[in-house]
Structure 1
Amino acid sequence: MTVVDEDHDDSDAEDRENPYLRNPPTEFEPLEALSEEEAERQIERLREAIREHDRRYYAENDPIIADRTYDALFSRLQALEEAFDLAHTDSPTRSVSGEPIDAFDTVEHVAPMLSIDSSGDVADVREFDERVRRELREAGFDPDDVRYVCEPKFDGVSMEFVYEDGRLERAVTRGNGREGDDVTRNARTIGAVPGRLHDDPPERFAVRGEVYMPKDAFQAHNRERIERGEEPFANPRNATAGTIRQLDPSVVAERPLSVFYFDVLDASDLEDTHWDELRRFPRYGLRTTEEVELVDSIEGAIEYRDDLLERRDDLPFEIDGVVIKVDDREAREALGRTARHDRWSYAYKFPARAEVTPIVDVAVQVGRTGRLTPVALLEPVDVGGVTVSRASLHNPEEIAAKNVGVGDTVRVQRAGDVIPYVEEVVEKGSEGHYEFPDRCPVCESPIERDGPIAYCTGGLACDAQLRRSIEYYASDDGLDVEGLGEKSVRQLVDSGLVGSIADLYDLEPADLTGLEGWGETSAENLLAELEASREPPLPDFLSALGIPHVGPATARELAREFATFEAFREAAENDPERLESVDEVGETVAEQIHEFFASEANAEAVDDILERVSPREEQTEGGGGDELEGLTFVFTGSLSGMTRSDAQELVEAHGGNATSSVSGNTDYLVVGENPGATKREDAAENDVPIVDEDEFRNLLEDRGLEGDLG
């Protein structure tokens, strides 16, 4: 049985004298031709019409104008409000933008938003029904009159929406059930959240809704993130939760969130039954799902759950069970609640999907070296106790060999208990297999094949490769610049502050403090880290460039052979055969190094870096002794008497090891000025002694190295 609104007649809205409801014009008289009175009248009509179009689109799924026409009306309203300075907080235009906010206020709910008692065992569901009937009989109700409203259990974020005199006053996350975060400005950006209710709503009306991301929209959003080189969301719920608490409402507005409303928390005018409450929601512009039924027995509720379980994969939203609610409001009050959950509702959970699941889309991820990895986007499935929503398809040849396509049902495994991959096709739902693109999904550069592997030819001109290259440049295998992780790199690139690795060295404090989440201390720490990386050891610099197949081990061998970057680059560009004589370098690696520098974009990027960074010459002969043999040091922050690179070279010249990350094998973490927090936290976890620069110098002096100190 579907929730419908049999008594509501839309003709009133349609018959009003409003030219923007049906077949509205999309060409308007010039703004300068309007008087202020005429502009006010047009604004009111446009607001009224847009609210009605929103109600039809979001609450009834029955639009009466095309999207393009709606956009024209919306743009006209924006232009009028701006030209005549007539913007209002209640206007539909205020629901799609907003300035970033610093924090969320904590707000008490108008009524408790409790959790739901649940089980996946049908015996527990029947026991719930027996308890309900027994307690209602004792309270004077006829247990044979008990009816249940059955609803999908949405896998999203539950929120309270409070309307006063029909206007949205606040939207609050569930929080701890008693109070939550005020996210009203974010909620106003969601199209399915009406800023003002329609028809004749109660004077005070607080409803509970579930904010969610539709499955198709989630997969499309994840695909975009993967193609941009960003980490995808694990599932729609995580995507929703991460979005609704963004500090910048404009970010929320860009993400495809929607809402279903499913309960009244408080109202100045209450219906006698939950079913009747649901019937009037669409009249007010509050969107409900069609997947709701009113049943006369618990067996009807169980049948509802089993039917929905069979149709689960076909639903446009993610659910993890059904909710069974006593319909009669007086009966609900008699049943009451515990400290944790209402005693009149129960969730009958679905079993977790196990290993076999459909592929809903395929995205192509661009790696640091330009390698393209196809990723299957899945209906979330349980694999070894972990929910998996994506899996590797490895490469184009693997796709063809397994005949994998969008729509196929596949078996998913986890390699090494970590990386999920598609093992086999269980049931074909597509014709043939996924066809690999011939151009990069990020930068549109041509794709080249090297055996089974596909590569983007865009190099550092490709944004995805740029971000990953910066992350690698700053990583433990590169120059070990703390503070440049995935999130901060994405901020720097997306803000336009950094368009190349070299741009890192041109950053100013004001650039960083203008970004969300950055303060003066974090900005100073990053700039100090970058300053300390301007004279890196040659092996670290060679590894940091991200040359294919040149990791730390190969970089050390190349540095020993060529001693200077200039000598190495000369061989790389003009004498690749000489590279082959180096340990760790064969014909294939030599060719990859040569091709890296043959790329005009890469060569220009390296030249720009060298204008700001001076790799230190590798000392190939002579040197110290074994005074520090067996000791492993890690450095963080800036040293005053010597550069961090000097200190690392000094340690290695006297038999010690200087590594970039703290582990159980580390003997000392040397902390300079403006250190990062990560290494100190790792040192504490591994019981590694932390010493400052003076203590480090004392340690060296104790071992007879006074003359080597700067």
Structure 2
Amino acid sequence: MEREQDPTDNQYVRDPDTEFEPVEQLDESAAREQAQTLREAIRYHDYRYYVEADPVIGDRRYDALFERLLALETEFDLDTEGSPTQRVGAEPLDELETVEHVDVMRSLDQSGDAEDVREFDERVRSDLADWNGEIEYFCEPKFDGLSVEIVYEDGIYQRAATRGDGERGDDVTEQVRTIPAVPERLRGEYPDFLAVRGEALMPREAFQQHNRERVEAGKEPFANPRNAAAGTLRQLDPRVVAERPLTVYFFDVIDSTATFDRTSEIYDRLPEWGLRVTDRVELVDDIEGAISYRDEMLAERDDLDFDIDGTVISVDDRDACERLGATARAPRWAFAYKFPARSGETTVRDIIVQVGRTGRLTPVALLDPVDVGGVTVSRASLHNPEEIARLGVGIGDTVRVERAGDVIPDVSEVLDGDDGHFEFPDRCPECGSEVQRDGPLAFCPAGFGCPAQREQAIEHYATRDALDIEGLGGQRVEQLISAGLVEEPADLYELTVEELAELEGWGERSAENLLAEIDDTREPPLAEFLTALGIPDVGQTTARALAAEFERFEAVREASAEQLQTVPDVGPKVAASIRAFFENEETAAALDRLLEHVEPQETEIERGDALDGETFVFTGSLDEMTRSEAQDLVESHGGNATGSVSGNTDYLVVGENPGQTKRDDADAEGVPTLTETELYDLLDDRGVER
């Protein structure tokens, strides 16, 4: 066991408002010492906030400490292993690799019937008939999130993986690293090796706020916190994960050099190492106590800030657990006592069709208000035309409504109604354009010609992911549109102080500030401009790839579908979306007007020809550079770096913890593989400087 230095005598813990001298006045030795002191302080403040739920510092000052540390590490090129600044997010990944777990992550036998829980107790007592110990049960909430394995060695965060099939999961090391509740370094007397199991989730209040921000940015809201957590952790860009409010609750030790006599002891030890646990746990004498605990949690579930779908009942004594063992699927010493589904019956009074920023049409059922799990529900999603047909739902039908993930209402079943169903419109309800279908989904193709899409396009243009006009949130955009000042992004650049100052809640200073922010976006980097346009199927990663390939906006705009598909990972569907966007007459006219005010900057890339025409695919992590840096290096010398192996691939570069799929594909296609060392030898032979 090792012990971290006690941080309570740290100056940024004793006096977090300590003023900083300018960075340029420090030498490297002083900077290194101050950085280490800041790291210890930030870890302490993280512990007080996430584990003890008793912060001793405000958000603004915490941010100041964090930004100072980041500035020191950047300015003096300091080693950042184990530093809290690693939470800002690494470079985007090409894919999620598959890794093996330290030990099997089994699921649980489960039921919502109390008699099944009592039968579990009978089996436990029968199997332990010759055991002399006392049988007590440790009860805890069953989190409704995404289960992850997290590994620490010598107290330092090493890797994280999703549960997957129980034996292997997706490598989400860089994604989980960005979650503030997951420490880069353990506290106290920690074991040399520790593999823990936790649940990644999005707290309810944070989820609601994040969904509001997504809607204001013209993005589809997440259906529920569980989907939000799962979708976030599988993002290939860890920087996206860093911007979303995920947390982790830890609940088990998978493997460790530390030993434990009881499950309840694990809950005592995890916080000592800086790992967050819930305090809503209880040790009971018998199974009836466990059943009562579950009933209490069912009554209190709406008061929690995280979603649970039941409770977990575990034999507390670890020796007894060893005796009970496990099946291939589940341990014999634990059982999940599930909550009943939240649902209600009501009548569909109307069905409306909403238009999203990308033109997607979403049907929504307007309901007679009904109580579903303590929440009054009057609207529910019908998702898409195919779902309407599958359910056979129509206006006037009696339906069952469930709160999917206990959050977003969902029509799950028609209980009584006519044989027919709601006829999905063949024209957009906002602009009258003929609706187009893409599989189960329906779209309005009008682009800027559709008022609903136009309004949301303006909001998206200003978001942080796009041109980051901070003073132009959803409410202000709506106000500008209602006042008749803005109809499309080009109008933003023609606003005047006098026009804005006349609006309610505005003054001359706020008007000047907004216009200054807008003015700063007149010469945006090409990738950011492409993102801001909100082209369907084109996010930040694809926008960067397009900018790197074509370098000029007009080249992207005029590229054929075939030319677009030469960009790594742009397939026929994405290429078709890009072409449809630029070929739409209303969109083209709006773009022409926008380009009168905005001049996207060319992407300047120095290209050599040492690897001209050769295609590389990377799998696993590299030691000397990130995989993204290696791909950029290959491309800057005329090569191609793609995300999947095909018959056109020249080399598969295999790093640490590689994915099996790419290696299997390389074997099947006869593609030679290179280790990291062999890659560098090849580059040296070609005269490529690293």
Place the TM-score, normalised by the shorter chain, in its bin: 0.5 to 0.7
Counting only pairs closer than 5 Å after superposition, residues 234-273 of structure 1 correspond to structure 2 as: 234-273=223-262
Q: Specify which of 54, 75, 79 is matched with residue 46 of structure 2.
A: 54
Q: 1:199·1:283 contact (CA, 8 Å) conserved in 2?
A: yes
Q: 2:561·2:572 contact (CA, 8 Å) conserved in 1?
A: no
Residue 459 in 1 paired to residue 509 in 2?
Answer: no
Q: TM-score, normalised by structure 2?
A: 0.58
In the superposition, relative to structure 1, how do residues 43 and 312 fare at CA in structure 2: closer, same or farther (>3 Å)? same
In the superposition, relative to structure 1, how do residues 338 and 365 fare at CA in structure 2: closer, same or farther (>3 Å)? same
Q: Deviations over 1:321-370 (max 9, x none)?
A: 0000111100000000001001110000000111389xxxxxx9875699
Q: Specify which of 558, 569, 582 is matched with residue 518 of structure 1.
A: 569
Q: TM-score, normalised by structure 1?
A: 0.57
- Residue 605 of structure 1 aligns with which residue? 590
- Residue 60 of structure 2 aligns with which residue? 68
In the superposition, relative to structure 1, how do residues 527 and 36 fare at CA in structure 2: closer, same or farther (>3 Å)? closer
- Residue 30 of structure 1 aligns with which residue? 22
Q: 2:363·2:381 contact (CA, 8 Å) conserved in 1?
A: no
Aligned-pair distance for 1:85? Answer: 1.1
Q: Deviations over 1:292-322 (max 9, x none)?
A: 1111111111111001101111110011000
Equivalent-residue separation in structure 2 for 1:197 and 1:206 (angstroms): 12
Equivalent-residue separation in structure 2 for 1:332 and 1:25 (angstroms): 50
SS at match of 1:161: strand
Equivalent-residue separation in structure 2 for 1:226 and 1:344 (angstroms): 44
Question: Can you give the 5+ residue segments of structure 1 that lack an aligned partner in the other structure?
Answer: 1-8, 358-363, 393-408, 420-438, 464-483, 535-540, 546-601, 612-710
Aligned-pair distance for 1:442? Answer: 2.5
Aligned-pair distance for 1:513? Answer: 7.5
SS at match of 2:120: helix
Counting only pairs closer than 5 Å after superposition, residues 171-570 of structure 1 correspond to structure 2 as: 171-355=160-344, 414=411, 442=474, 444-446=476-478, 458-461=486-489, 486-488=536-538, 505-506=557-558, 518-519=569-570, 545=586
SS at match of 2:186: coil
Q: 2:381·2:409 contact (CA, 8 Å) conserved in 1?
A: no
Residue 80 in 1 paired to residue 68 in 2?
Answer: no
Equivalent-residue separation in structure 2 for 1:169 and 1:222 (angstroms): 31
- Residue 111 of structure 1 aligns with which residue? 103
SS at match of 2:67: helix
In the superposition, relative to structure 1, how do residues 246 and 456 fare at CA in structure 2: closer, same or farther (>3 Å)? farther
Q: 1:150·1:304 contact (CA, 8 Å) conserved in 2?
A: yes
In the superposition, relative to structure 1, how do residues 414 and 102 fare at CA in structure 2: closer, same or farther (>3 Å)? closer
In the superposition, relative to structure 1, how do residues 263 and 445 fare at CA in structure 2: closer, same or farther (>3 Å)? closer
SS at match of 1:262: strand
Q: 1:117·1:346 contact (CA, 8 Å) conserved in 2?
A: yes
SS at match of 2:71: helix
Equivalent-residue separation in structure 2 for 1:319 and 1:269 (angstroms): 29
- Residue 152 of structure 2 aligns with which residue? 163
- Residue 499 of structure 2 aligns with which residue? none
- Residue 82 of structure 2 aligns with which residue? 90
Residue 147 in 1 paired to residue 132 in 2?
Answer: no
Q: 1:101·1:247 contact (CA, 8 Å) conserved in 2?
A: yes
- Residue 504 of structure 2 aligns with which residue? none
Q: 1:366·1:456 contact (CA, 8 Å) conserved in 2?
A: no
Aligned-pair distance for 1:290? Answer: 1.2
| CA radius of gyration, larger in | 1
In the superposition, relative to structure 1, how do residues 462 and 10 fare at CA in structure 2: closer, same or farther (>3 Å)? farther
Equivalent-residue separation in structure 1 for 2:98 and 2:381 (angstroms): 35
Equivalent-residue separation in structure 2 for 1:494 and 1:36 (angstroms): 35
Aligned-pair distance for 1:32? Answer: 2.6
Counting only pairs closer than 5 Å after superposition, residues 594-633 of structure 1 correspond to structure 2 as: 605=590
Q: 1:149·1:325 contact (CA, 8 Å) conserved in 2?
A: yes
Equivalent-residue separation in structure 1 for 2:363 and 2:579 (angstroms): 35
Aligned-pair distance for 1:522? Answer: 6.3
Q: Deviations over 1:646-686 (max 9, x none)?
A: xxxxxxxxxxxxxxxxxxxxxxxxxxxxxxxxxxxxxxxxx
Matched residue type, 1:141: N
In the superposition, relative to structure 1, how do residues 246 and 381 fare at CA in structure 2: closer, same or farther (>3 Å)? farther
Q: Deviations over 1:488-529 (max 9, x none)?
A: 37877899989xx999734588996898x7337667666676
SS at match of 1:175: coil
Q: 2:141·2:281 contact (CA, 8 Å) conserved in 1?
A: yes
Question: Can you give the 5+ residue segments of structure 2 that lack an aligned partner in the other structure?
Answer: 347-352, 384-405, 415-420, 423-457, 460-472, 492-533, 597-690
Q: 1:372·1:456 contact (CA, 8 Å) conserved in 2?
A: no
Aligned-pair distance for 1:128? Answer: 0.4
Identity among equivalent positions (%) equals 48
Equivalent-residue separation in structure 1 for 2:565 and 2:194 (angstroms): 42
In the superposition, relative to structure 1, how do residues 529 and 341 fare at CA in structure 2: closer, same or farther (>3 Å)? same
